[in-house]
């Protein structure tokens, strides 16, 4: 069993009108079974309303399945005695950093989590320092989070999670509100945490180019996992991705269009270097 395993996970909620009468039932997550190995970098794609965020909330016991089971590091999320351990194992970062930051100083913000789980003071400071260094925000430790840019705030939010020493971090569109350099910083940090600290990363995003270096990609539609594989296997299917209201990285799209125009380019070009190699091969 991997660090995250779900078996026939289904989540339904009841829609009610203004008077509280039942209007219908929506199945937000529909029979999802998957197994994520420790140390993997996993991306989840899907259009708005496809069930990605609801799925993500199951991974640190913010919601419990209507049917089926979720195990986080072997713990069943339906068993309430595990809730705190699960949240410590699997930390979550949301889209808007302003909704997640509560303290007046960066270092206090990062120390908030460990303090709440009773880590001794000396260790807290050590941990805060290490976490801030991991996201490249150590020199801002005495700054007010209000004065930081969006990307910097999001890195502080990630440091706050890292300080809890989770085995797994789930990020729900962490770059949606960031400018290009903020986006790049956040993604680079996630890869560094993944490689150096062996933290499992589960990244939900709408930016296809952020997915290229993932180990594994899941695509969701109407609550179901409809595609899964390596980024190359996924992005080879340009038409299918567009059908699912998604996209592919621009270099993949350029290669696809060239192929459509008759150039014998191999499918699944993911990087500029691969495109160059293909064009060179064609020219002989």
Partner 1 sequence: MSIIADHINYTYEIGTGFERQAIKDISFVIEDGEFIGLIGHTGSGKSTLIQHLNGLVKATSGTVYYNGQDIYDKDYDLKTLRSKVGLVFQYPEHQLFETDIFKDVCFGPKNLGLPKMEVELRAFEALRMVGLEENLYYQSPFDLSGGQKRRVAIAGVLAMKPEVLILDEPTAGLDPKGRDDILECLRYLKEETGMTIILVSHSMEDVAKYVNRIMVMNDGVLMYDDTPKNIFTHYRELEEIGLAAPQVTYIMNDLKNAGFDVNTGAITVDEAVESIMASVR
Q: Which stretch binds partner 1 (CB under 8 A): 27-35, 73-81, 113-121, 267-275?
A: 267-275
First to last CA, the chain: 48
Q: CB under 8 Å to 122, separation ≥6 — which residues?
A: none
Could you say whether residue 192 binds partner 1 (CB under 8 A)? no
Least distance between partner 1 and beta carbon 118 (Å): 36
Could you say whether residue 226 binds partner 1 (CB under 8 A)? no
Subset of residues 107 to 146 that bind partner 1, contact rule: CB under 8 A:
none
- Cα 9 from chain centroid (whole Å): 19
Could you say whether residue 98 binds partner 1 (CB under 8 A)? no
Q: Which stretch binds partner 1 (CB under 8 A): 31-39, 62-70, 84-92, 247-255?
A: 247-255
Least distance between partner 1 and beta carbon 223 (Å): 14
Residue 36 host element (H or E): strand 22-36
**Contact characters 52-91, partner 1, x per CB under 8 A:** ----------------------------------------
Could you give the CA distance from residue 207 to residue 242 in angstroms, rounded to a whole number? 14
How do beta strands 224-229 and 168-172 pair?
unpaired
Could you give the CA distance from residue 223 to residue 30 in angstroms, rounded to a whole number? 5
Question: Of these, 16, 195, 245, 281, which contacts partner 1 (CB under 8 A)?
Answer: 245
Least distance between partner 1 and beta carbon 162 (Å): 22
Could you give the CA distance from residue 216 to residue 45 in angstroms, rounded to a whole number? 11
For residue 26, what are the β-bridge partners?
13
Could you say whether residue 44 binds partner 1 (CB under 8 A)? no
Exposure b/e, 200-227, CB count within 10 A at least 16 = b: bbbbbbbbbbbbbbbbbbbbbbebebeb
Could you say whether residue 21 binds partner 1 (CB under 8 A)? no
Q: Which is nearer to partner 1, 197 or 209 (CB)?
A: 209
Least distance between partner 1 and beta carbon 164 (Å): 26
Size of the site for partner 1 (CB under 8 A): 44
7: nearest Cα among 29, 38, 31, 27 = 31
Could you give the CA distance from residue 41 to residue 36 in angstroms, rounded to a whole number? 9
Q: Can you give the binding site for partner 1, defined by CB under 8 A?
A: 15, 18, 46-50, 95, 149-151, 173, 176-184, 206, 208-209, 245-247, 249-251, 253-254, 257-258, 261, 263, 272-273, 275-276, 279-280, 282-283
């Amino acid at each position: 069993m991997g660090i995250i395993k779900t078996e026939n996970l289904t989540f339904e909620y009841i829609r009610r009108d203004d008077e509280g009468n039942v209007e219908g039932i929506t199945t937000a997550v529909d029979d999802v079974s998957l197994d994520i190995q420790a140390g993997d970098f996993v991306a989840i794609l899907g259009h708005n309303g496809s069930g990605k965020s609801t799925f993500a909330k199951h991974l640190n016991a913010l919601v419990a399945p209507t049917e089926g089971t979720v195990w986080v590091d072997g713990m069943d999320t339906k068993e309430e005695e595990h809730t705190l351990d699960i949240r410590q194992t699997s930390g979550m970062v949301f889209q808007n950093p302003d909704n997640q930051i509560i303290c007046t100083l960066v270092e206090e913000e990062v120390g908030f989590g460990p303090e709440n789980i009773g880590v001794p003071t000396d260790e807290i400071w050590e941990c805060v320092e290490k976490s801030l260094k991991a996201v490249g925000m150590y020199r801002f430790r005495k700054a007010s989070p209000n004065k930081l840019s969006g990307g910097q705030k999001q890195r502080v939010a990630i440091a706050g999670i890292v300080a809890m020493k989770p085995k797994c971090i789930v990020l729900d569109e962490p770059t949606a509100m960031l400018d290009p350099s903020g986006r790049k910083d956040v993604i680079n940090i996630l890869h560094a945490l993944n490689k150096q600290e062996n933290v499992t990363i589960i990244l939900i995003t709408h930016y296809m180019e952020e997915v290229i270096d993932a180990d594994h990609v899941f695509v969701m539609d109407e609550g179901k996992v409809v595609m899964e594989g390596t980024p190359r296997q996924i992005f080879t299917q340009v038409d299918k991705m567009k059908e699912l209201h998604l996209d592919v990285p621009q270099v993949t799209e350029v290669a696809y269009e060239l192929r459509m125009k008759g150039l014998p380019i191999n499918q699944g070009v993911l990087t500029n270097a691969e495109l160059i190699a293909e064009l060179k091969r064609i020219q002989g």
